[in-house]
Structure 1
Amino acid sequence: MKRIAVMNVGGDCPGLNSAIRALVRKSAIEDIEVLGVYDGFKGFLEDRVFVMTKEHVSGILERGGTILGSSKFDPTKNPDDFTKLKENFEKYQITAFVIMSGHTGTEIALKISDEGMPSIVIPATIDNDLPWTDFSIGFFTALETVTKTLDALHSTASAGHRVIVVEVGGDEAGWLATLGGLTGGADYILIPEIKFNPDKLIENIKKRYDEGKKFSIVVVQEKCPLSERLKLIQDQYPESSPSEIVSKYIKENIEGVECRNVNLGYMQRGGTPVSFDRLIATMFSTKAVEYVKKGKVNIALSLKGFDITDVPLTPDLLKNKEIDSRIYEIAKIFF
């Protein structure tokens, strides 16, 4: 009998439970055994492994997070850990790992494939920064969180005539910030891919005030690089995030403005997965089982339109997928 070991590696995201559920249910039909692994490769090395049945995944479709837990632990960094990984792979007679992850799990999958431990990577990250797939599990729920938060902030920003600077996640990519800012009505969006002109930001806010719109919502991606002028402020406040530096710059350059900061942080990782995340999670997992049955491994699954395809595990998968500039240009219409 073929045997899958399923785990979540890296940050958690909404939709993982939907993927686990589909994997177990489809595997039962195909007579493939599923081993659930707690806390990624850390749990695998610690023998925190169990045979998953339909009962384990009953009622988890709508739950956020993951019933298996997650970890960024990399078993390839320490020789003893790597030896233990190979021993457990043989002990549990694993046909293939199914790794639900972003770049973190993909990099590990690449390393262990050379040592005869095959895997299938299911793209799962709120950042949507994986170059081989249109979208990843978790992105659409995180996007909905950003959009709804900006909706809520509009009322208090307007009532108090405030500028609210909202820090949005995304790692090195501007997908969450751009799409969230666009659909949530942001008045300015700062992302890593687009060079930031601080003068334009100040002009935008002042213009809105002159037009009677005495509030603004500014979205700042968490790793947005700062201009030289803003780096001078950062030198004075080295512990401050880019969004906090942008807020300080606004207050220094617009007299009398009330400026507040909101960091969405882990809110973007939590919550009930939206329908599209549940859908693609189910599609990815059922396809993964089909590939295991065929003996096709050492691949990453990809969503292209409504088709699930696959790409071989190569170092190119570790690149960062930047925001489509056409989407940012649409967002700029509202700046």
Structure 2
Amino acid sequence: MKKLAVLTSGGDSPGMNAAIRAVVRKSIFEGYEVYGVYQGFQGLITDNIEKLELGDVGDIIQRGGTKLFSARCPEFIDAGVRKNAIENLSRRGIDSLVVIGGDGSYRGAERLDAEGIMTVGVPGTIDNDINGTDFTIGFDTALNTIVDAVDKIRDTATSHERTFIIEVMGRDAGDLALWAGVAGGAETILIPEDVSDVKAVAERIEAGMNRGKKHSIIIVAEGVMSAGECGRELRKYINVDTRESVLGHMQRGGKPTGSDRVLASRLGAFAVDLLKDGVSGCAVGIENNRLTETSFDEVFAEDHQIDRVLYKLSQELSI
């Protein structure tokens, strides 16, 4: 019987459990024996690997986080460490692996593929910063978490006639900030992909105040600056009452949206299909609602690009 393993690595994202469930059930449907690797690449090293049955992934599609847990494992870059991990897989007869995670997880997956373990990556990160896919698992849920927070903060911003600066996650990508800003009607969106001119932001807020506007919402991506830094910079140019909110890790938790559950199910099952057909060394994704595969080399070839049309629209609508 063919044997396949699945692990989650890096930061958790809502929908990872749905992806695990899809990998396990699709594998069993296709006649594979499937194993779960606990604590990511660290679990490969420590041999924290267990066989999974259908019931082991029951009642998890609606849960945030990851049933298999996750851990950072910088030592996996060492060839000797990876050799130990490969031996742990080979001893069980496992020659195929699905890695659910982001950019760093993909790099570990690429190394394993080059060393004889057929590997496919599934994009699991709230940051939406992976090439080869329009959306990553967890992005939609995190986006909705942020929008819900922005809606609540706007209520108090209106009541107290204040400018609120909301810091969101995303690492070096501005997708969460951009999409949340458009959905939440933010007056200003600061993203890493564009030069942040706080003086221009101050001028825009002042112009709004002059025409009677009582409050403003600024969304700043963590890759630009912190909310506190943004507030201090803003007050250099304008006398305005500000409050800062850092949403933090609440963005990574919670029940996955229906959209993330469906996306995770499709991508997890597709990864198994590729391995069954002998395809590896790539990541799955979705583009224009079509499942795609992209080699790891192509994924790493250039930085993820922001939707410039959406960014332009955000500026046009925030006048």
Partner of 1:214: 214
TM-score normalised per structure 2: 0.96
Partner of 1:288: 271
Quote the Cα distance in structure 1 between the aligned partners of 2:62 and 2:25: 16
Quote the Cα distance in structure 2 between the aligned partners of 1:124 and 1:212: 44
Q: Offset of 1:87 from its aligned partner?
A: 1.5
Quote the Cα distance in structure 2 between the aligned partners of 1:291 and 1:83: 24
Q: Is 1:265 matched up with 2:248?
A: yes
Partner of 2:43: 43
Alignment of 1:1-335 (within 5 A): 1-224=1-224, 241-255=225-239, 257-314=240-297, 316-317=299-300, 319-335=302-318
1:284-317 Cα deviation digits (max 9, x unpaired) = 1111121222222222112112221212221643
Checking the alignment, whether the CA contact within 8 Å between 2:113 and 2:280 is kept in structure 1 is no
Checking the alignment, whether the CA contact within 8 Å between 1:130 and 1:318 is kept in structure 2 is no
Quote the Cα distance in structure 2 between the aligned partners of 1:13 and 1:333: 31
Quote the Cα distance in structure 2 between the aligned partners of 1:27 and 1:210: 62
Checking the alignment, whether the CA contact within 8 Å between 1:18 and 1:61 is kept in structure 2 is yes
1:67-121 Cα deviation digits (max 9, x unpaired) = 1101221453334422311211211211211000110111111222221122000
Q: Offset of 1:198 from its aligned partner?
A: 2.0
Task: Name the SS of the counterpart of 2:156 in structure 1.
Answer: helix
Task: Name the SS of the counterpart of 1:147 in structure 2.
Answer: helix
Code of the residue aligned with 1:260 in structure 2: it is R
Checking the alignment, whether the CA contact within 8 Å between 1:123 and 1:137 is kept in structure 2 is yes
- Unaligned 5+ residue runs, structure 1? 225-240
Quote the Cα distance in structure 2 between the aligned partners of 1:52 and 1:321: 34
Quote the Cα distance in structure 1 between the aligned partners of 2:100 and 2:134: 16
Checking the alignment, whether the CA contact within 8 Å between 2:100 and 2:121 is kept in structure 1 is yes
Code of the residue aligned with 1:176 in structure 2: it is L
Change (3 A) 1:319 1:94: farther
Quote the Cα distance in structure 1 between the aligned partners of 2:289 and 2:63: 24
Checking the alignment, whether the CA contact within 8 Å between 2:119 and 2:275 is kept in structure 1 is no
Task: Name the SS of the counterpart of 1:261 in structure 2.
Answer: strand
Equivalent pairs, count: 318
Quote the Cα distance in structure 2 between the aligned partners of 1:181 and 1:22: 32
Checking the alignment, whether the CA contact within 8 Å between 2:118 and 2:275 is kept in structure 1 is no
Quote the Cα distance in structure 1 between the aligned partners of 2:26 and 2:82: 31
Quote the Cα distance in structure 1 between the aligned partners of 2:76 and 2:16: 24
1:205-256 Cα deviation digits (max 9, x unpaired) = 11222222211110111011xxxxxxxxxxxxxxxx532111012233322x
Q: Offset of 1:26 from its aligned partner?
A: 1.4
Checking the alignment, whether the CA contact within 8 Å between 1:110 and 1:315 is kept in structure 2 is no
Change (3 A) 1:75 1:296: farther
TM-score normalised per structure 1: 0.91
Code of the residue aligned with 1:294 in structure 2: it is D
Percent of matched pairs sharing the same residue: 35
Change (3 A) 1:308 1:315: closer
Quote the Cα distance in structure 1 between the aligned partners of 2:257 and 2:182: 19
Quote the Cα distance in structure 2 between the aligned partners of 1:315 and 1:296: 15
Checking the alignment, whether the CA contact within 8 Å between 2:130 and 2:299 is kept in structure 1 is no
Checking the alignment, whether the CA contact within 8 Å between 1:174 and 1:193 is kept in structure 2 is yes
Quote the Cα distance in structure 2 between the aligned partners of 1:153 and 1:277: 25
Quote the Cα distance in structure 2 between the aligned partners of 1:83 and 1:132: 29
Code of the residue aligned with 1:154 in structure 2: it is R
